Amino acid sequence: MKKLLQKKSVKITLIIILVLGAIYTFLYVRAINERTALIHSDDVQIMCTDEHQSPYTTIHVTKGKRYAGLSTGIFKFVVTPQMAIWTEDMDGNYLETLYVTKKVATINRQSALPIYMDTLSKEGLSVDSVSSASASINTTTIRQEVDNRQTQQFKVYMEINNSFDYNATYKQNLPKEDPGYNTGYCGQPAVVYLAHVDLEDKTHYTLEPIGHSDPTGESPELFQELESIQEALQIVDKVEIVFE
């Protein structure tokens, strides 16, 4: 009787292992397929409109091969980038947010976009008032209402970050004293892009990477080096902005 119960227990254990293995395989394959579809789907267009819904700014985000990633751990899920695009005057004073993904507000992680979050905080603003949904496989055009443009010369910033994108420098579970220490599943820190705009000169600009933010989110400092975040630079291939 005892041997019979032991055999039955072994069978049940094997069945559980097989079921869990099948679930893992299904979720992993589904995540891989979803990530591939997202990367190869249409690029993202953000239409910034005024109160009359007349577009005056179009932001075109060309996806890179690391636009979508996978979480760590046993059960995988697709990770899409969190980003914010905003303008400042030539003296560095905040003007307005052109676009920010809604999840930035819901996850409440300073390490995701520390420079943008600090910029809003100094103005007494919250992400909730200016956020939009992240682009999905079926959503490639996003409309965002913004204020009317008041100046001809200004700066356009973008800060973008993908969680779980660990690399040789920014590894998981590093000690605090390590230069690559990061928090909140951050992996590589957010990449910061910039374009100096002079509408009297031209209306079409390409944002260029100028550095990265603090991977811990503890400061709003801009680190002007790109060598340690080569993989994060592949989240997007190009970011263009056109003013009507």
Mind listing the pLDDT tens digit for each residue in 110-153?
Answer: 678 999 999 988 888 877 656 554 444 334 455 555 555 567 89
Residue 207 pLDDT class (50, 70, 90 cuts): very high
- Whether the per-residue pLDDT at 171 is higher than 60: the answer is yes
Residue 222 confidence (pLDDT) = 95
Model pLDDT for residues 23-60, shown as the tens digit of each residue:
666 565 555 556 555 555 666 777 666 554 445 688 88
Pairing type for strands 94-100 and 153-161 reads unpaired
How many CB atoms are located within 10 Å of the residue 101 CB? 24
Region of poorest pLDDT, from 26-30, 131-135, 177-181, 225-229: 131-135
Q: Which pLDDT score, from 0 to 100, does residue 32 have?
A: 55
Is the pLDDT at 6 greater than 90, yes or no? no
pLDDT value, residue 134: 46
Of the candidates 72, 133, 60, 149, the residue with the CA atom closest to the CA atom of residue 101: 133
Contact, 46 vs 131, CB < 8 A? no
> Exposed (0-12), middle (13-18) or buried (19+): which is 1, by Cβ within 10 Å?
exposed
Token match 């997007």: residue?
A: 236
Per the model's pLDDT, the better-predicted residue between 28 and 191 turns out to be 191
pLDDT of residue 100: 84
Higher pLDDT, 93 or 100: 93
Q: Which span out of 37-51, 96-110, 146-160, 205-219 was modeled with the highest average pLDDT?
A: 205-219
Average pLDDT value for the chain: 78
Q: Look at 102 and 164; give whichever has higher pLDDT.
A: 164
Question: What per-residue confidence (pLDDT) applies to 139?
Answer: 40
Number of helices (H), then strands (E), in the chain:
3, 12
